[in-house]
Amino acid sequence: MKSISTNNYPIHFGENAYSKLNTYLDENDLSKIIVLTDSDTTKYCYDIFISKLNKSKNRSFIEISFPKGEENKNISTCQIIWSSLSEAGADISSLIINLGGGVVTDLGGFVASTFMRGFDFINVPTTLLAMVDASIGGKTGVDLNNIKNQIGVINNPSMIIIDPIFLKTLPQIEMNSGFSEMIKHSLISSKNNWDKIKTIDITDFQIGYTFYNSILIKSEIVDKDPNEKNIRKVLNYGHTIGHAVESFCLNSKHHQTLTHGESIAIGMILEGYISTIKLGFNKDLNNSINKFFLNIFKKTKFTDIDINEIIKLLKYDKKNRNGEINFVLLKDIGEVVIDQKVDDKLIKESFLYYLNELR
């Protein structure tokens, strides 16, 4: 696959990516090279990654790892990593390579951006979700009290290395999670992209046009609006409710934790329904999209109490202004409208559609 050049960093693919990375390591005078992993990428990806790197110039790598899971994407984990960096003698000439999924790239980018006021980092995403979404765009950060991404900065990596070989290490649930973001990219971009996405059998997923194209869609939108003042907000379709659902399930004692993709799929179903009421999005088209979601993601049950708690969490969404909740909605596939106000009554109605009407 051909490299993608964004305004701020390149995205390299496959074996060519390692050639570019090795050249970068050779040409920069790096005091320390730290590879940040979680417990899964230590087990499944670290050895593969290290085997691709040149061992010239007596180069050595320091691995720092933390337990896997969204519940560890917090300041406490950052403090442990900051201390490990200090003990390893890291300084502003060091480099962090974030090898992992979205939790690793989000947290690792934040750690690199804040330790000693910041040094360079490279993202090497190992999940489909991180490859097509989380590692791209410069958003770094951690959760606060299990509220998604409350603390963070926008800071770009030096490059992104994408090797599809790591997808072979993933369970189906993680492939589905990343595919949810690919569906989102198709819905906000064009009917042509949606037509291509809906022909994919995710249980026999072949990396090709849709994988590369999804990355291209996000990187082009971010290039136009890196600090999310306008058009980049379209990437949040499904995320207003989706993030609240994800945070709720992470905190709940009676709900199983949902993956990011599962949560965003629910968010897109609900926000698709809201779009039909607010913007006249075609109801038959919306129903067909939602049935496609249900072929991949099982329904999650929510009680009235659950729904009220999820709505309370919406106040933490970063798109909000002056206490008002702002949604990203669809007028049509590829026609997205930002900064839409939605009242609690309609949000509850969307949950009832999801729970009772959608088959």
> Residue 112: CB partners within 8 Å, gap ≥ 6?
96, 98, 118, 119, 120, 121, 140, 155
| CA–CA distance, 180 with 260 (Å, rounded to integer) | 9
Catalytic residue among 243, 246, 278, 326: 243
341 counts as catalytic: no
Phi, psi (degrees; rounded to nearest 5) at 317: -65, 135
Residue 137: which region, alpha, beta or left (left: phi > 0; alpha: psi -120 to 50)? left
239 counts as catalytic: yes
CB 87 within 8 A of CB 42: no
Catalytic residue among 68, 185, 260, 278: 260
Q: How many other CB atoms are there within 10 angstroms of residue 124's CB atom?
A: 31
232 counts as catalytic: yes
Phi, psi (degrees; rounded to nearest 5) at 221: -65, -45
139 counts as catalytic: yes
| CA–CA distance, 216 with 304 (Å, rounded to integer) | 40
Three-state secondary structure call for residue 142? strand
117 counts as catalytic: yes
| CA–CA distance, 106 with 197 (Å, rounded to integer) | 26
| CA–CA distance, 218 with 231 (Å, rounded to integer) | 11
260 counts as catalytic: yes
Catalytic residue among 232, 233, 262, 326: 232
Catalytic residue among 174, 181, 246, 271: 181
Catalytic residue among 68, 148, 156, 228: 228
Which amino acid, residue 232?
R
Residues in a beta bridge with 158:
none
185 counts as catalytic: no
Catalytic residue among 57, 117, 254, 345: 117
Closest of 49, 221, 239, 35 to residue 126, by C-alpha:
49
| CA–CA distance, 174 with 217 (Å, rounded to integer) | 21
* Six token digits for residue 197: 């996405």
Catalytic residue among 123, 149, 193, 236: 236
243 counts as catalytic: yes
Residues in a beta bridge with 63:
35
| CA–CA distance, 118 with 136 (Å, rounded to integer) | 18
Catalytic residue among 73, 233, 239, 278: 239
Q: How many other CB atoms are there within 10 angstroms of residue 342's CB atom?
A: 21
Catalytic residue among 12, 68, 73, 139: 139
Catalytic residue among 73, 218, 233, 278: 218
Return the active site residues. 117, 139, 181, 218, 228, 232, 236, 239, 243, 260
